[in-house]
Structure 1
Amino acid sequence: MRSAMTSCCGASTVGRQGWSPNCAVIALYVFVFCIILPICCRNCYFSIYYNQELHLGGASPSAYARKVNNERIVQAEAFFSSQKRDLHLPRTTKDVEMVIGFVTIKRRGEIKDGGEYEPRYLLQTVAGLLQEKLPETTHVIICNVETDPSLHTDAVFLSEFLTVASRYSKHGAAKPPGHLQDKEREDYLFCLNQSLTYNPKYVLLLEDDSLVVPGALDVLDYVIDNKIEEGRLSFEPSKTLAKLYSPLSLQRDFYSDKQSRIFRNMLELLSIGLLGGSLLRILYFPVFVGIRENSNQRLFDRYFVASFVCCVLAALAVSRPHLLELRRLSKQLYMILKANDCCTQAILYHKEIAEAIVSQFEKGLVPDWYPIDAGLDHLAEKLGIAHVCVEPNLFTHIGMYSALHEGENVYLKDFS
């Protein structure tokens, strides 16, 4: 046993004189990759250590997603029950700074066992938003785009608290909505138009399955005041379209087609390696070597290189979406990056941009076969709009049933 330790670590430096650099590096890698990361990352979906069986407790992904959704429904019902007498927000507001609009339709989903499930996203997302500190200059509107608005019972219930605008009459649509993709685009523009009637400076348009992250509105105010309107970034505030949710799968390390994002991600990895390597280098002597007068500075540098590589590999193993969560420690740590070409769950528009987008769509300058998210990306490039995103996300996507695609559509990563 002693001979094995001698051959591996060098016995001349083990014991009272401290550990050799080889032993220190082996101990570091074993501790990080075999003990710390497997324990901390077993429930992190994008980590290489993710264990679905342990995370879901033996349940199927769809059953687990419904369980989590049901818990949020109970919490939302309890919130409105406790606030029913006091939660009467103003229906009209003067000098509106921001309008927050929800595009919503009654969701219907089929379960694999043949039953039906009503996810009730709108109730959850509105409850989450109203628990935030809404400024008096913020107005909330719900856009009920169900062809028979009375069927959307949650929207009808919420009309007691908030402004609800229905696209169709209570007797149903005057004409068939056509292709679902066309209806989705028209519904989105309807809500954007309804929000603009209050003459706000900004419009935050949400899909009904976009759940606010606690404290996100405070972060959003900081981002608007200190990063967008002060002009510290290379775009004009009046030409800004900011996505507040991006799929976690698109936030991964090098899974982007945007060169600027890849470059930023490489800088993040480099920073993690330098910071982590420096901290481990500082800890090297007291932990592994002990107090020695004749330390070998060359071996010390070798340990720094090993520590740098260890931190970079650990960051890749954890995956960037989970590392971004550390930035929630302070609103000053949130970043604005070039946005990926996807998704409309939560987008912040400056008034001028919102008006230009509505005008361009109404003039038919966007190809009919474009879905709404592709159309927005097309217009952003055509009109010279700053197409950015805020990371980490200020909203989460809780949807497991798509109004555009029939049936059940579960993405477990959104429930991780």
Structure 2
Amino acid sequence: MSYTLLKRENSDSCVELAEQYVLGRVPCMLTRCSRKGIYVLLCVLLYGITFLVLAPLACISFKHVGLDVICFRNKAAGNARLIAQNQARLNRSLVTLREYSRIDSYCRMFPATCRRKNAQIADGEEKTAERDLQNVSIGMQLIRKTFAGGLAISFVTTRRRSNITGYRGQYLSQSVAKMLNIINHGDRLTNDVPIYFSICNVDPRLEVNPEISNLPKWIPVHKRFDGRRKLSIEDARSSYEKAKNDYVFCLEHTLQTNASYILLMEDDALAMDNLFHVLSHFIFSLRKLSSDETHVPLLDKLTYLKLFYPVHLSGYFNVDPERVPELISVALVLTALTLCAVTFCQPSLRVSPTFVKIAFVFFLLVVVIIGRYNIIELRSVSDRLFYLTPAPRGSAVAVLYPRQGALDIARYLPLYRCDKRLPKDLAMGEIVIKHGLDARLVQPNLFEHIGHYSSVHQKLRNPFAT
């Protein structure tokens, strides 16, 4: 009987121990289940907000987004908006050009250039000039030394005919008016630097380009084709070959000014207001100490500096190797800032690795949706936030050449035969790679490409990819 009681007591104690174990484990299991449920709910909310709220808002708010395939855009409305913007900008530009037409001569607009041309400095005057140079700031001395030969600014233009009723592109008028305004408002780079401003007309027809008639008469216009020079058979057969030869002609013509730097643009390149402020910043900051202990700007060691790159080629998913690491870096920074904010607001909260992973993937998707272009544009709030990267192949809408770089491109580019597979901008990239040269790209863009109408394809471009 005692054995039976002992066995029953042992069984009761085992049951009690089992009950205690189960009752002790249940809260832990419930806690784990509730924690997993919270993470699942958090994932659903974050990804739902990303794709159902943030993505549509990005499509509405931004012209260029990273995942354009998720946007249902109205191209007709986009084209109408760009046409209206172009017309309004053209009307303002024509008023501006009429004001500049009242200037009676080139020397009144660019007095420093004419002073340089007409300078006949005697020995005594030369000493005075050297003494004056010592009295100016170190920055201005550097500017004058860098641009000792001046800055040549030229637009490559040709007639653009539109088959759209009532649409007048007239991009040259807008680009020239904006550039003259930027120069006229003054900058330490343009105040005392000789400016050689010109138009390079590559239209094969002998009659006057109607766009040029809108410009002030004192602006020099250089024609590639006249009674002596006519369109060659190769140029007539291939528009790509003609575009290359046009570019080489205009580059060689600007080199005749003996300018230290050459800014060569297509006629639909609209400069940003801070163009020369940013270039001045690069002159001061990108320099190295040479053997004679004087500061030499690094810009003059480049072959060329691209000032514009197409928006639709500026995304994270590109052949350029630095784009994906840049995407990951931005997502990591945003994740780190979020973790700092969470720990600051709730110091007692323990952040799990799962939360970190959820936050990182979320910000990765957010950055991709918003798009690299819109994120880089945040840097435009300050001239000091612009930066240089290796120049990708493609696009020669606006390029700044040091003199030696312009000589190199003018020498090597004619050796390439350009076609649809190898246009002139890709050929320029081939030259840089083949000869071990250095070319850079400014980011964000310092120019806007307003050429909404393609004269080659005779149609409007995608309004969300210009």
User: What are the within-5 Å matches in structure 2 for residues 5-404 of structure 1?
Assistant: 27-42=45-60, 43-48=62-67, 50-53=71-74, 59-85=76-102, 89-90=109-110, 92-93=113-114, 94=116, 95-111=148-164, 115=165, 117-133=167-183, 135-136=190-191, 137=193, 138-148=195-205, 150-169=207-226, 174-178=229-233, 179=236, 180-227=239-286, 237-256=300-319, 261-262=320-321, 264-284=322-342, 295-299=348-352, 301-361=353-413, 365-367=415-417, 371-403=423-455
Contact 1:110/1:116 (CA < 8 Å) preserved in 2? no
Tell me: CA distance 1:355–1:143, structure 2 relative to 1, closer, same or farther (3 Å): same
- Which amino acid counterpart does residue 163 of structure 1 have in structure 2? P
What's the secondary structure of 1:337's corresponding residue? strand
Aligned match of 2:123: none
Segments of 5+ residues of structure 1 without an aligned counterpart are 1-7, 14-18
Structure ID, larger Rg: 2
Distance 2:458 2:289 in 1: 45
Structure 1 length-normalised TM: 0.78
Percent sequence identity is: 25
Aligned partners of 1:216, 1:104: CA distance in 2, in Å? 21
Structure 1 pair 175–40 and aligned structure 2 pair: CA distance change class (3 A)? closer
Matched residues in 1 for 2:201 and 2:287: separation? 31
Q: TM-score with structure 2 length normalisation?
A: 0.71
Q: Is the 8 A contact 1:336 1:390 kept in 2?
A: yes
Q: Note if contact 1:241-1:349 (Cα within 8 Å) is conserved in structure 2.
A: yes
> For the Cα contact (< 8 Å) 2:389–2:442, is it kept in 1?
yes
Instruction: For 1:334 and 1:132, locate their aligned partners in 2 and report how far apart those are by CA, in whole Å.
Output: 19
SS at match of 1:71: helix
What are the superposed Cα offsets for residues 352-379 of structure 1, whole Å, 9 maximum, x if unpaired?
Answer: 1211222334xx5333655322332232
How far 1:82 moved relative to its partner?
A: 4.4
Cα 1:52/1:368, change in 2 over 3 Å: closer
The answer to whether the 8 Å contact 2:317/2:323 transfers is yes
Give the equivalent residue in structure 2 for 1:5: none
Instruction: Tell me by how many angstroms 1:51 deviates.
Output: 4.1
CA separation in 2, counterparts of 1:280 and 1:397?
36
- The 8 Å contact of residues 97 and 216 in structure 2, kept in 1 or not, is answered as no
**1:214–1:51 Cα change, 3 Å:** farther
- 8 Å Cα contact 2:58/2:370 also seen in 1: no
Query: Is the 8 Å Cα contact of residues 157 and 202 (structure 2) preserved in structure 1?
Result: yes
**SS in structure 1 of the partner of residue 57 of structure 2:** helix
Tell me the CA shift for residue 282 of structure 1: 2.7
Please state whether the residue corresponding to 2:249 is helix, strand or coil.
helix
Unaligned runs of 5+ in 2: 1-29, 117-147
Does the C-alpha gap of structure 1 residues 62 and 273 become closer, same or farther in structure 2, counting only changes over 3 Å? closer
Shift, 1:121, TM fit: 0.7
- Going from structure 1 to structure 2, the CA distance change for 1:62 and 1:159 (only over 3 Å counts) comes to same
Going from structure 1 to structure 2, the CA distance change for 1:392 and 1:229 (only over 3 Å counts) comes to farther
Q: Give the match's secondary structure for 1:313.
A: helix
User: How far does residue 208 in structure 1 lie from its aligned partner after superposition?
Assistant: 0.4
How far is the alpha carbon of 1:205 from its aligned partner? 0.7
What is the one-letter code of the residue matched to 1:76? S
Count of equivalent residues:
378
Shift of 1:41: 3.9
Letter in 1 for 2:464: K
TM-fit CA distance, 1:298: 4.4
- For residues 339 and 239 of structure 1, do their structure 2 counterparts lie closer, same or farther at Cα, with a shift above 3 Å needed? closer
Looking at structure 2, the residues matched to 61 and 31 of structure 1 have their Cα atoms a distance apart, in angstroms, of 26
Contact 1:142/1:162, CA 8 A, preserved across alignment:
yes
Contact kept, 8 Å, 2:162 with 2:458, in 1: the verdict is yes
Cα 1:174–1:166, aligned 2, differ >3 Å: closer, same or farther?
Answer: closer
The answer to whether the 8 Å contact 1:241/1:385 transfers is no
The alignment's C-alpha RMSD in Å is 3.4
Q: Which amino acid aligns with 2:269?
A: S
Letter in 1 for 2:159: K
Tell me, in whole angstroms, the C-alpha distance in 2 between the residues paired with 1:265 and 1:353: 27
Give the match's secondary structure for 1:65.
helix
User: Following TM superposition, by how much is the alpha carbon of 1:268 offset from its aligned partner in structure 2, in angstroms?
Assistant: 1.9
Note closer, same or farther for the CA distance 1:285–1:338 as it changes in structure 2 (3 Å cut). closer
Q: 1:50 to 1:84 in 2, by over 3 A?
A: farther
